[in-house]
Amino acid sequence: MLPSDIKVTSEVLWKGAIIFALIDTIFVSILTRRIKPLRFRQIKWTLVITMAAFFTLLWGVLGSYIFWDSVYHYFFPEWSRWFIPPLYGLLFSAAGLLFWWIALKLPGNAAINFCLLGGFWGMMTHLWAEYRGLLEKPPMLQGASPVAAVVIAIFEFMFYWCVVLSIASLLKRIEGSDISVS
């Protein structure tokens, strides 16, 4: 899907991290004002279902379609190409459920906690991917900074968690099953 000569450099990763960090700062500040503790509690299952759908679609488009030949086929067998999106959708929704629970247990704003935990998930998954050869096997990533690859993942996944939290909150509001948002 991508041209074979595309190269992701450390500079590209650092610039991406800065852009994601700026977007996350704005996004999280909006979410903290819009999603009060009661709403966060109420969206539990809507959030889990939204995460499953979002990450299944994301992995289907990015993982199995756009980046399969350039990245993911180095790590997964061909037969798993279309099996991975729903599997990762379930895995990410389980992580989302766990992080929803942890976000409520931690001090501070649950929406902020949830998004920060999403960044932690991005960091952990990319550390694991680097251990498996993320920056050595795919030619497009060879030579990129391991630190930059992990840092961008933190802010990239915070962004995903913000998007999912926003969608789940909107769906819950549309559903009309909750009266109070505070």
Distance CA 117, CA 134 (A): 22
| Cβ proximity of 95 and 80 under 8 Å | no
Count CB neighbours of 120 within 10 A: 17
pTM, two decimals, is: 0.90
pLDDT more than 90, % of the chain:
84
Please state, in angstroms and rounded to a whole number, the distance separating the CA atoms of residues 149 and 142. Answer: 11
Give the C-alpha separation, 61 to 56, whole Å.
9
d(CA 157, CA 152): 8
| Residues 53 and 166: beta-carbon distance below 8 Å | no
Q: Where are the alpha helices (DSSP H) in 35-145?
A: 37-42, 44-58, 84-105, 110-131
Q: Which region among 3-7, 22-26, 57-61, 63-67 has the lowest average model confidence (pLDDT)?
A: 3-7
Helix (H) or strand (E) holding 154: helix 146-175
Question: Quick one: pLDDT band at residue 154, thresholds 50, 70, 90?
Answer: very high
For residue 62, give both structure tokens: 């990015």
What is the domain partition of the chain in residue ranges? 24-174
Residue 77 in tokens:
């067998």
Residue 40 structure tokens? 């966060």
User: Which pLDDT tens digit goes with each residue over 107-118?
Assistant: 999 999 999 999
Q: Is the pLDDT of residue 140 over 60?
A: yes
Q: Which residues contact 129 (CB under 8 A, 6 or more apart)?
A: 75
- Give residue 145's pLDDT band: very low, low, confident or very high (50, 70, 90): very high
The answer to which of 49-58, 103-112, 150-159, 169-178 has the lowest mean pLDDT is 169-178
